[in-house]
Amino acid sequence: MGGVFGLQALEVRGDLMAAKAQLGSLTQAYKDGDTAQLQQVGSEVLELTTRADTTVQGPLWDAASALPVVGANVAAVKIATEATHVIVRDALPSGIELLGIMSPDKLKVEGGGINLAPFQQAQQTLPQIKGVLAEAETKIADIDRAALLPVVDEAVGQLIDVVDQAGPLLDTAEQLLPVALRLAGSEGQRNYLVVFQNNAEIRATGGNAATSTIIRADQGKIEKLGNDDVEDFHVAGVNGWLDVDMPQELVALYEGDFTKNAQNFTRTPDFPTTAWLFSELWTQTNDSQLDGVISIDPVALSYMLAATGPVPLEDGTEINADNAVKLLLSDAYERFGTNGLAADAFFGDVAERVFDKIASGSWEPTAMIDQVLRSVEEQRIYAWFPREDENAIAVQFNVDGALTSDNTEATQIGIYLNNASYSKLEYYLSTSMSVTCDAAARTVTTSLTMNSTVPGNDLSGYTLAWRNPSMDLPRTTMILDALSVAPPGSTITAIDPAVGDIERWNRDGVEKGHPLFSRTMLLPKGETKTVSFTATMPEGPLGPLEVRHSPTVTTTPASIDPSCSALFPEAG
């Protein structure tokens, strides 16, 4: 009997391993849009798990399950096989059907946009898949992994881990899909403002935000509104015609142009405030409401171009992942100098063509997702939506850019930069951050090191600092307002330098409960300077440490000293 059981165990193992290998080929079949291959893989996997399940239902397996020591391991393999078969038999066909209708070629719509039908189908299918998963979870719930041999635990554990992870993912998908469909215009057209932050003239959440466009989504179809539709909005933003009532103590934290000119709405590190200012400007000039504000920078755009491939331009050149940042943040200013009309025409052509490329959907979705996630990690993409349930998605995916109201979910700390020289010199700026802690004193010290690689005076007048001559400063010197922002409830006890390089511009206060100190730093060409501050944390538990900063043209490495692990979960 033992020999027969041993042979059956090997057969079961072989069938399950073969099924696992076959499932691994689904990804490539999906990418290839090969529906026939998807169906074939599904049939072959079902045949393998059916055979394995039939084997473990035999009397030898019941008998072996009752044996001392080895019985727990045999029972675990039997249960895992049954659960695997349930998933393959009852959920895999629906999953493969979804993969088939959601293949990349079927997600595109003519003229640009996303085909919503597959996602609407997914809405209907997800509850059934969740039910199957719950059944499998019930089967494996009583497996005592501590009683299993390592070789058995490794194999059975893989299934348990998959089920444990898939449940929450399916819950999230079921929760988010209806909201995502509405965002794509499934219940009527939506208008979104897309803001392009220019890191060469740095601002707290990216850069000068003078360039923006309105995107309309309707039943998944995406189009860019024409210049005539947005002219009043742009003119009002450039000329500072926004009329809003904001607390004077907040406005006083920034230069006087903060709430007037659209290019300066991004001076605050709180993106919802920035988005609200843009939304109010749109309402005042168009007598309608925006459905959201999205912000990206040219570096994020370059990452997206890595997924889309190069885009040809009107002048016979192209914009691609390798040249986008230099082309948009340096070459254009050197090429056109102070000829604003020519520069506007160039940027307009680039924006139009890149938008058409991205909206066309002629790129591989997983590659684009990877690039977007990279941009989010580097704090280059933000989004705000006025409807609470839709904005919850921005919060969940960490693109809301909001200053938190407390330290429950995260303890935010950061140093941000605002250009005060009216230049495009920050194309040549790089930064790095470090955080150290004294757990006994409950203090955190945050430092930002800034380095200028400005090559010299042989730059266009548009790139060089316009404000500097009136202050007897070289036009190659960056003037940077450094904003030290501590967590809510904390106290800033020290700042270095204490008064900054222009003392009369010191600004101290509180924004959304976060203590904020602003010190102006002069950064001459070729030099390096560091600003830092120490804050005493409030009593009580603190959420994970979240280090924030203004994204520059290059990445900003941030190191958290192991000394912080005693204060913050997951720090260090």
Q: What is the DSSP string of 442-481?
A: TEEEEEEEEEE----S-S-TTTS-SSGGGGT--TT-EEEE
Of 39, 59, 152, 58, the C-alpha closest to 100 is: 39
Average pLDDT of the residues in 70-97: 80
DSSP label of 402: P
Work out the pLDDT band at 283, boundaries 50, 70, 90: very high
Q: How far apart are CA 234 and CA 5, in angstroms?
A: 77
Average pLDDT of the residues in 285-290: 94
Residue given tokens 């996630």 in the structure block:
373
pTM above 0.85, yes or no: yes
Half-sphere exposure (Cβ direction) of 571: Cα atoms closer than 13 Å: 27
Of 42, 41, 51, the C-alpha closest to 10 is: 51
Q: For position 309, what pLDDT does the model report?
A: 95
Residue given tokens 């033992």 in the structure block:
2
**Which stretch of 30-39, 285-294, 470-479 has the lowest confidence by average pLDDT?**
30-39
Q: Which two tokens stand for residue 355?
A: 């938008």
Longest dimension (CA), the chain: 96
Give the fold, CATH level 3, of 190-377: Aminopeptidase (3.40.630)
10 Å CB burial of residue 367 (0-12, 13-18, 19+) is: middle
Average pLDDT of the residues in 376-399: 96
**What share of the chain in percent tops pLDDT 70?**
93
**What share of the chain in percent tops pLDDT 90?**
59
Q: Where are the domains of the chain?
A: 2-183, 190-377, 404-566
Q: How many CB atoms lie within 10 A of CB 420?
A: 22
Residue given tokens 């945050």 in the structure block:
446
Q: How far apart are CA 204 and CA 449, in angstroms?
A: 16
Q: For position 110, what pLDDT does the model report?
A: 67
Work out the pLDDT band at 187, boundaries 50, 70, 90: very high
Count of residues in the chain: 572
Work out the pLDDT band at 327, boundaries 50, 70, 90: very high
Q: How far apart are CA 294 and CA 184, in angstroms?
A: 14
How far lies 249's CA from each of 242, 254, 264, 507, 508, in Å?
Answer: 19, 10, 17, 10, 10
The vertex-539 CA angle with 533 and 541, nearest 5°, equals: 100
Work out the pLDDT band at 64, boundaries 50, 70, 90: confident
Q: Do residues 355 and 308 touch, judged by C-beta distance below 8 A?
A: no
For residues 565 and 363, the model is more confident at 565
170 pLDDT above the threshold of 80: no
Q: For position 102, what pLDDT does the model report?
A: 67
10 Å CB burial of residue 1 (0-12, 13-18, 19+) is: exposed
Average pLDDT taken over every residue of the chain? 89
Helices (H), 309-406: 324-326, 332-336, 340-360, 365-377, 388-396
Work out the pLDDT band at 37, boundaries 50, 70, 90: confident
Of 432, 382, 385, 397, the C-alpha closest to 207 is: 382
167 pLDDT above the threshold of 80: no
Q: For position 105, what pLDDT does the model report?
A: 67
Tens-place pLDDT, residues 114-159: 888 888 888 888 888 888 878 878 877 777 777 766 766 666 666 6
Tens-place pLDDT, residues 231-258: 999 999 999 999 999 999 999 999 999 9
